[in-house]
């Protein structure tokens, strides 16, 4: 057996490392129709081979346990242990998420790809990882699942859906093996069964990946919370604050941002779905309107100061960027036109070009605000 293996490896320009081999010797048991494992030493080329001691023994290969029958040893309990360890670690939420995404998922993907885990198991793994991430972010478990699988640049969490990605990886590996000049490798690839979902079947790998992404974007936008989220908004926003983690935003802010994106902030309207009674839903601060995230962020008189600060921060920041790019900038200068007074946030000039900028923080698809501001801008451009 070792000779055959050595010949095969020689063709691939590889060699056998005897120290890492394990020899298995099976002996028939007298009077019974079973086999037992013998641990008598075996010699090859004058060297003793390490022996397999029992049938439950395993070989460790790149951190993956492989049983003596050639199957990858993998269990959900192992994953549960890993997730528990991450969740109990003294880390900040975004660090935990980063740990899951960069370490745990990498290991898991590698094991699952080599294992014979079936679709239902893969689905279970996806669900467990997703649930853990939501718990880390103090998020309601009712937050849309599709959001967790959206890529980071679309404000999602960027978790893989193993049910779709693992069969795709297995198929890609098989296709690579099929085109191998070695007949043995090509032969093995024929024998690997692949159960692929209808979504990715028949597509090449890149198209399949895109199909998976599109599926989740569609799924997210069709959920009750996703519907509120403008499709254009999702594609327009570049969420640098989600990439940076705690380096850019504080841990608490990171949690809030993710809640905002999924629209699961615990406003009264969110806590009491389906309730129409105003007394239950009214704002806990001003009590004049229904407590929605729109009210808290943009309308409530109690947050007016914070709203002003946000507006000024954006205007100042924009002004600074323009100055860096060689523009002349005037901040909040009074402009008189006819009998009206205007006080735009920024007036800027560069050579013959000029622009008047007024900053507003509109909420989601509140385009009426944008339009009225545009008209105002046009009126000023004629001055």
Within positions 151 to 190, which residues make up the interface with Zn ion, using CB under 5 A? none
Helices 105-114 and 76-88 cross at an angle (nearest 10°) of 180
Minimum distance from CB of 309 to Zn ion (Å)? Answer: 17
Identify which of residues 256 and 307 has a Cβ nearer to Zn ion in the complex.
Answer: 307
Burial of residue 137, with CB atoms counted within 10 A of its CB: 0-12 exposed, 13-18 middle, 19 or more buried: buried
Exposure string of 10-46, with b = 16+ CB inside 10 Å and e = fewer, is: eeeeeeeeeeeeebbeeeeeeeeeeeebeeeebeeee
Minimum distance from CB of 289 to Zn ion (Å)? Answer: 6
Identify which of residues 94 and 291 has a Cβ nearer to Zn ion in the complex.
Answer: 291
Within positions 344 to 383, which residues make up the interface with Zn ion, using CB under 5 A? none
**Count of residues that bind Zn ion according to CB under 5 A:** 4
SS3 for 40-75, per residue? CCEEECCEEECECCCCCCEEEECCEEEECCCCECCC
User: Per CB under 5 A, does 286 bind Zn ion?
Assistant: yes
Q: With contact defined as beta carbons under 8 Å apart, do 290 and 283 qualify?
A: yes
Bridge partners, 337 (sequence order):
340
Q: With contact defined as beta carbons under 8 Å apart, do 119 and 75 qualify?
A: no
Identify which of residues 215 and 310 has a Cβ nearer to Zn ion in the complex.
Answer: 310
Identify which of residues 91 and 286 has a Cβ nearer to Zn ion in the complex.
Answer: 286
- Binding Zn ion (rule: CB under 5 A), the pick from 117, 129, 283, 346 is 283
Minimum distance from CB of 268 to Zn ion (Å)? Answer: 10
- Binding Zn ion (rule: CB under 5 A), the pick from 178, 243, 285, 333 is 285
Q: Identify which of 193, 78, 76 has the alpha carbon closest to the alpha carbon of residue 123.
A: 76
Site string for Zn ion, 241-280 (x = CB under 5 A): ----------------------------------------
Within positions 293 to 322, which residues make up the interface with Zn ion, using CB under 5 A? 300
Identify which of residues 227 and 288 has a Cβ nearer to Zn ion in the complex.
Answer: 288
> For binding to Zn ion (CB under 5 A), which residues are involved?
283, 285-286, 300
């Amino acid at each position: 057996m070792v000779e055959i293996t050595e010949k095969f490896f020689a063709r691939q320009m590889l060699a056998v490392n005897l120290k890492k081999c394990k020899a298995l010797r099976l002996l028939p048991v007298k009077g019974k129709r079973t086999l037992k494992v013998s641990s008598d030493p075996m010699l090859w080329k004058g060297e003793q081979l390490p022996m397999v001691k029992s049938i439950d023994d395993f070989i460790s290969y790149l951190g993956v346990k492989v049983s003596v029958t050639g199957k990858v040893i993998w269990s959900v309990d192992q994953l549960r242990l890993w997730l528990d360890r991450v969740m109990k670690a003294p880390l900040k939420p975004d660090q935990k998420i980063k740990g899951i995404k960069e370490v745990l998922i990498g290991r898991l993907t590698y094991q699952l790809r080599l294992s014979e885990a079936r679709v239902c198991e893969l689905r279970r793994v996806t669900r467990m990882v997703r649930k853990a991430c939501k718990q880390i972010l103090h998020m309601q478990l009712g937050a849309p699942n599709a959001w967790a699988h959206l890529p980071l640049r679309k404000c999602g969490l960027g978790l893989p859906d193993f049910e779709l990605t693992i069969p795709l990886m297995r198929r890609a590996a098989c296709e690579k093996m099929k085109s191998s000049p070695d007949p043995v490798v090509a032969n093995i690839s024929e024998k690997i069964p692949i159960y692929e979902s209808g979504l990715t079947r028949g597509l090449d790998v890149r198209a399949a990946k895109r199909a998976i992404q599109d599926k989740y974007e569609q799924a997210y936008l069709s959920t009750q919370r996703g519907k509120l989220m403008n499709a254009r908004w999702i594609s327009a926003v570049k969420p640098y604050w989600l990439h940076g983690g705690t380096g850019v935003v504080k841990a608490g802010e990171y949690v809030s941002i993710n809640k905002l994106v999924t629209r699961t902030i615990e406003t009264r309207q969110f806590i009491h779905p389906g309730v129409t009674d105003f007394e239950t839903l009214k704002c806990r601060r001003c009590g004049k309107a229904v407590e929605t995230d729109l009210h808290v962020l943009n309308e409530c008189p109690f947050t007016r100061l914070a709203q002003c600060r946000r507006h000024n921060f954006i205007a100042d920041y924009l002004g600074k960027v323009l100055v860096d790019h060689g523009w002349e900038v005037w901040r909040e200068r009074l402009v008189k036109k006819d009998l009206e007074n205007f006080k735009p946030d920024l007036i800027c000039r560069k050579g013959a070009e000029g622009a008047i900028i007024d900053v507003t923080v509109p909420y989601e698809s509140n385009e009426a605000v944008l339009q009225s501001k545009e008209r105002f801008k046009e009126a000023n451009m004629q001055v």
